[in-house]
A and B are shown apart, each in its own frame.
Chain A
């Protein structure tokens, strides 16, 4: 390593010897003494193969006019280029890699990620209840029940406990392991509608000011992490299957645990039925099908079994900034111990979990319009300190949504046209 003083004597011969120039020259020389910068792709190709070893398009100025161009360029046939269509980030591979990393992570990290997934997923169940028309709401709840270790109440608001171990998190997370264009992060954004939407769904069968029943599902045990917190779930979704094909209702068994193999076999045909149901608005059908595709992907469904799977996207259900959300999730993963780089892009060196919460969680606002910090603080502190605070999931629900009625909601199946509190804030985004 060259020291700064090594550069002080390298003055150009004809530069005036001045006291003021010497320290400046020393700084300058040292500042530019680094290693060669990483060459660009084009230059790297030249450095490794020369100009003769690369394709003509990379050679820069052509010395001669190509024979095909002697009469000038051909007329443009295709017309003006279109704006690039918005495409969703292909995060399937990202999550697959992340899950592979997670499989080797410590239990605290698993617990933390499981907690985050749990909260966001449950927020989806509670929140999406108002985003989607009735049938879709039930499907969301069914999806959560089928794809996560949590059980949500039926009509009676029963409490159930699932026994899935967090050690199996990669197999249990509701992520589209093999289904392209159905981002799991989109599913976590289902909290957009929030608790107000949950109360909206309840308003169809209960007084508007009725307090929705809560349920306390248990989180699975994590070796080495005593007592994950209990979570209070707002009003559950229930009894809103009217208008959906029977296959949707039949996906989830009345009792027992859903069989992934059976789900993977049933879902492709069910997606086709949902998409072909004329009574469903197209975006509702797309949303529901996307959720089904997500569950199917997690259950091992073959992507080839659903011809239109590429057009499905859970983000059609919710107003989510997919890019920001994925970035936030990446940042979140980067804060977890033992989930280092080398396989997961943009994940750098990791810090140990501290009792102060996980850096980056606040940035999950790109996924959901909720107070993520308030929602997850107790959970993360539980995962890192071993305490078991009780979560109030209402903190995870979005705030500030207007509660005035929304004209036109009567056109949606399962909803009355009298104006449902909360929907006005969510529906403008629906079917984006």
Chain B
């Protein structure tokens, strides 16, 4: 968990409704969940992140697995919440146009650089097919396996690999068009 405790200990604490267990899990996973939702154009990524963790914590008693599986589980919840939000909004958001929220805290310089990076990623993702962006972002941010992503997206493993390959090719074309040295 990066906080000194083993994942098993933290998970047990959370399953026993110990606040510190929730806090460790949130501190460990929330930045990447929040970043994923933000880059994917969630209307209110902070609020959606909180909803994701509230949902996960409510059902944490039914979870069994290791840290990687827990990460996959939470990202699955996040992606479904994001899908629900997109459906509720009636259309896929314009990724490049959505405003970037303020970061909660941190070094000013780092925050500025992070905002620039987020904007850059959103611009790049806007040049990809939505499924390609989903796959690449999930692979890079969550670290989920192809199999896990296939299950999450309701696609075959081969389809996910194809989306990943095409996404990388699309990125290459974008970079070449922009003159980015590869």
A32 touches B31 (CB 8 A): yes
Count of interface residues, chain A, beta-carbon cutoff 8 Å: 43
Which of A34, A43, A49: most chain B CB closer than 10 A? A34
B2 located at the interface, meaning its Cβ lies under 8 Å from any Cβ of chain A in the complex = no
Binary contact readout A1-42 vs B (1 if CB under 8 angstroms, 0 otherwise): 110100000011011101111111101111111111111101
B104 touches A4 (CB 8 A): no
Tell me the minimal C-beta distance from B159 to chain A in angstroms. 16
B117 touches A23 (CB 8 A): no
A269 located at the interface, meaning its Cβ lies under 8 Å from any Cβ of chain B in the complex = no
B114 touches A24 (CB 8 A): no
Q: What residues of chain B lie closer than 8 Å to A12, measured between beta carbons? A: 139-140, 143
Query: Given that A25-B140, A39-B50 are known contacts, is A18 also in contact with B172, CB under 8 Å in the complex?
Result: yes
A30 touches B113 (CB 8 A): yes
Tell me the minimal C-beta distance from A384 to chain B in angstroms. 29
B110 touches A1 (CB 8 A): yes
B82 located at the interface, meaning its Cβ lies under 8 Å from any Cβ of chain A in the complex = no
B45 touches A34 (CB 8 A): no
B54 touches A32 (CB 8 A): no
B145 located at the interface, meaning its Cβ lies under 8 Å from any Cβ of chain A in the complex = yes
The chain A residue with its CB closest to the CB of B16 is A50
Tell me the minimal C-beta distance from A123 to chain B in angstroms. 36
Query: Given that A20-B175, A21-B171, A39-B50 are known contacts, is A28 also in contact with B141, CB under 8 Å in the complex?
Result: yes
Count of interface residues, chain B, beta-carbon cutoff 8 Å: 57
Q: What residues of chain A lie closer than 8 Å to B172, measured between beta carbons? A: 18-20
A53 located at the interface, meaning its Cβ lies under 8 Å from any Cβ of chain B in the complex = yes
Q: What residues of chain A lie closer than 8 Å to B103, measured between beta carbons? A: 34-35, 37
B76 located at the interface, meaning its Cβ lies under 8 Å from any Cβ of chain A in the complex = no
A50 touches B141 (CB 8 A): no
A29 touches B140 (CB 8 A): yes
B72 located at the interface, meaning its Cβ lies under 8 Å from any Cβ of chain A in the complex = no
Q: What residues of chain A lie closer than 8 Å to B105, measured between beta carbons? A: 35
A311 located at the interface, meaning its Cβ lies under 8 Å from any Cβ of chain B in the complex = no
Q: What residues of chain A lie closer than 8 Å to B168, measured between beta carbons? A: 16, 18, 20-21
Query: Given that A20-B172, A50-B17 are known contacts, is A15 also in contact with B164, CB under 8 Å in the complex?
Result: yes
Q: What residues of chain B lie closer than 8 Å to A60, measured between beta carbons? A: 54, 58
CA distance A22 to B53 in the complex (A): 30
Query: A14 is contacted by which of B26, B45, B145, B169 (Cβ under 8 Å)?
Result: B145
Tell me the minimal C-beta distance from B150 to chain A in angstroms. 13
B19 touches A50 (CB 8 A): yes
Interface residues of B in 48-100 (CB under 8 A from A): 49-51, 53-54, 57-58
CA distance A47 to B114 in the complex (A): 26
The chain A residue with its CB closest to the CB of B60 is A51
A31 touches B47 (CB 8 A): no
Shortest beta-carbon contacts, A-B, top 4: A32-B35, A20-B172, A40-B50, A19-B182
Known pairs A15-B140, A24-B124 / 9 extra A-B pairs, C-beta < 8 Å: A1-B107, A18-B168, A28-B137, A34-B35, A34-B110, A34-B114, A39-B53, A50-B22, A51-B17
